Chains A and B, each alone.
Chain A
Amino acid sequence: MSIKVRYFASLKESIGRSEDNLAFSGAVTVSDVWHSANPNKALPENVLAAVNMDYVELNSAVKDGDEVAFFPPVTGG
């Protein structure tokens, strides 16, 4: 299955990319997606995650075609 990964704000700058496109086989969680995309970088402690633009927990399952996003705490308003 294919997963699109997106990064925003300071996390995007520290990784140096705004997105990845990954292929997986078998069951995968949001946390697995991070570790596959960033094998040498631990998940930041305060990171927020979304699947298809809804907030999710890091142990949530992802499915084929999902857009997974990682970003720091939001600071709008």
Chain B
Amino acid sequence: MDIKVYPESFDPWQEIQSHQHSAHNMAGKFGATSIFIGTMRDFNEGDEVKGMTLEHYPGMTEKQLEKIVAEAVRQWPVIDALVVHRVGDILPNEPIVLVAVWTSHRGDAFDASRYIMEALKSRAPFWKKELLISQAERWLEKNTDGYS
């Protein structure tokens, strides 16, 4: 299990590849890998967005993400998981979040990765502030429910 918070842009595909290559214990054991990547859009709520700043609570962020991954491991037979999240200044088209889950079978991979992602959205202490094309800044007030 690996949790990373990056202040600089990252390549999610490279992260997945290097994590999988370094996890020798799971070679031959996993049959399913579920990958979710969240990427910054250049639009939100009808406005053009030119950038965003992601603030976080260092320490609590990692603690909450570790708890969320541990909850997923208790509920599904997860072989390995990787969670990567950006902080700092982000531009459209840059990745914000990566959740990758390795399991023996696909159902568990889908379910565990969705659980981690939805729990991250409601509990991991990150906050987005958008910078609009108009130069106005605004804090996002609330994440939407991913199931509705």
Interface residues of A (CB under 8 A from B): 6, 8-10, 46, 50, 53-55, 69, 71-77
In the complex formed, the residue of B with least CB distance to A13 is: B139
Q: Return chain B residues, CB-CB under 8 Å to A8.
A: 55, 57, 125, 127
| Bound CA span A10–B128, Å | 10
Partner of A77, one of B120, B129, B139: B120
Interface centre among A9, A55, A73, A77 (most CB of B within 10 A): A77
* Chain B interface residue count, Cβ-Cβ cutoff 8 angstroms: 28
In the complex formed, the residue of A with least CB distance to B87 is: A76
User: Nearest Cβ in chain A — how far from B67, in angstroms?
Assistant: 8
A10 touches B139 (CB 8 A): yes
Contact of A76 with B139 at beta-carbon distance under 8 Å, contacts A53-B60, A71-B57 already known: no
Q: Return chain A residues, CB-CB under 8 Å to B60.
A: 50, 53, 69
In the complex formed, the residue of B with least CB distance to A14 is: B139
Q: Return chain A residues, CB-CB under 8 Å to B117.
A: 77
Asked whether any CB of chain A lies closer than 8 Å to the CB of B141, the reply is yes
Report how many A-B pairs have Cβ atoms within 8 Å: 72
A-B CB contact pairs (8 Å), 23 listed? A8-B55, A8-B125, A8-B127, A9-B55, A9-B129, A72-B127, A72-B139, A72-B141, A73-B141, A74-B121, A74-B123, A74-B124, A74-B125, A74-B127, A75-B126, A75-B128, A75-B142, A76-B56, A76-B97, A76-B124, A76-B128, A77-B117, A77-B143
Interface residues of B (CB under 8 A from A): 38, 54-57, 59-60, 63-64, 85, 96-97, 117, 120-129, 139-143
| Bound CA span A77–B120, Å | 7
Q: Return chain B residues, CB-CB under 8 Å to A55.
A: 123
| Bound CA span A46–B141, Å | 10
| Bound CA span A27–B143, Å | 35
| Bound CA span A71–B123, Å | 12
User: Nearest Cβ in chain A — how far from B34, in angstroms?
Assistant: 16
In the complex formed, the residue of B with least CB distance to A10 is: B139
A76 touches B57 (CB 8 A): no
Q: Return chain B residues, CB-CB under 8 Å to A74.
A: 121-127, 143
